[in-house]
Amino acid sequence: MTTSISGWSGYYPSPYVSSGSMTGVSGATLSPPLQSYQTEISDLAALQNNLDGLLTQSQNLATLQSQFSFSASSSASSVATATAGSGAISGIYNVQIGQLAQGQVVSSAAQSSATAAIGSGSPTTLSFQFANGSSKSVAIDGTNNSLQGISDAINSAQIGVSASVVSNGSGQQLTITGATGSANAFSIAVSGDATLSSMLNYTPGASSNGLTLNLSAQDAQGSVNGVAFSSGSNAVTGAANGLTLNLISTGATTVNVSPDATTAASTVQSFVNAYNSAQSALNTLNQGDLSSNGILAPIQDALTNAVNSTSVNGNGLSTIGISTNADGTLSFDATAFQAAAVANPQNVTQLLSNNSGTGLGDQLSTALDAFTSGGSIQSIMSGLQTQNSAEQMLGNLASALPNSASGSLPSDLTGASLYSEVQQLVQGTYSTADGLSGSTNDPSWSALGNLSNAYSLLNNVYA
């Protein structure tokens, strides 16, 4: 008997109810066991899971281009290091650094103690005016009018400068340091206690400052490939596309920017693993119950054809480290892949995924979607499940049929002929010509439940 499944036409006989297989109407057995159908269904479900995984990994190849990053190396790391980010361009960059960015540093006259009170303790305000136009203030009173107290108050205010108390050969000094860059230069005006005012005021260029200038604020200065740059920070951005220079000292260095395909290689490895799992599953199933089923060969052909046909400008997958083994699985050389990505990242992405749909991932995504996502595999699984239910029902019918005079069913009572007998019963035209006796009113039929439902199910398979 042949059953046609939507989308696929295959040979699905009824081997489980065959000539001589039901030798007694009471406790009749089926041969071979029903487990065979269940095994096929289970095998197809496992295959579907493998193909779903491969479909996901094939689709991930479409994001490969965004996974390429860039690395940057400096020939003189004591002068500058570099990092490459979004927008970086491969190439060699000649970097000259003439001046580092630095922050303004001022310090007070030495005091004998870091904790002794200075001045009267009356409320005092330190007003900071910055070159960038902003202003900040710090309050001092009798609770913090020592070098350490003033340092702590400045740091707690978080106004863009830091303070500390340092010891020199003459005593303790308050040191105030601004952020790097000329825009962060500052002056300090003091109102309140006269002692603190004379000690802490600072105006650039004035002759009566209480604080002494140790370092002036300045910007970093240099050039990249002959183009000058200026930066308020020693972390220089914008001097070259996507490149950040971390300046350490004056001098010269060469920065090499190249693609980094580490993340992309990991994605390709995951794809290869999924592909190999699918091929291995197909190889195994070809040795089992599904070997004669028409679903396996088209799937395996689709996988193999996609790998073999993928090419860009005459270059196949082997040029990016992907090769085919004798059993149809793939091998992946991550080192060769990364070398190919550095040399020609566009060629790598075109081979694996492109807008024309000819990349490996594109071809497999299209092919696999036809087999999964409610496609051919599901249709065949559904057909097998229906047949499995039908065969189980046939077994029940064989056990429930009234005993014949000879005590056994006719030797030629196959699934199809039993269906014919059930058909006659349902239609009320049952004949005893076959040596069977009884009718749908016989109590022996009670085990079947609704006979018309059984007939309907058998009708789908054997009609």
- Residue 108 backbone zone (phi > 0: left; psi -120 to 50: alpha; other: beta): beta
Q: What is the pLDDT of residue 369?
A: 84
Tokens of 118: 């200075």
Distances, alpha carbon 75 to alpha carbons 92, 227, 248, 438, 446, in Å:
11, 19, 13, 99, 91
Give ∠ CA 440-441-445 in degrees, rounded to 5: 60
Find the Cα–Cα–Cα–Cα dihedral 147, 204, 216, 232, rounded to 10°. Answer: 110
Q: What is the mean pLDDT of each run of 10 residues along the chain (463 residues)?
A: 29 32 32 54 85 92 85 96 89 97 97 96 98 97 97 98 94 97 98 97 94 97 98 96 96 92 93 95 84 79 92 90 95 94 86 85 88 71 68 58 42 53 52 39 38 55 54
In one letter, which amino acid is 442?
A: D
Please say whether the beta carbons of 134 and 159 come within 8 A: no
C-alpha torsion sign, points 215, 219, 225, 226: negative
Minimal CA–CA distance to 456: which of 423, 424, 433?
423
328 token code pair: 């149809």
Q: In the Cβ-directed half-sphere of 208, how many Cα atoms lie within 13 Å?
A: 3
Q: What helix, strand, coil percent values describe the chain, rounded to 5?
A: 40, 25, 35
Identify the helix (H) or strand (E) that includes residue 226.
Answer: none
pLDDT at 220: 98
What's the one-letter identity of residue 344? N
Q: Say what the pLDDT of residue 103 is.
A: 98
Mark out the alpha helices in 61-146 (DSSP H runs): 64-67
As beta bridge partners, residue 258 has 71
Q: How far is CA 94 from CA 234, 255, 257, in A?
A: 17, 6, 11
Cβ atoms of 296 and 283 closer than 8 Å: no
pLDDT at 346: 84
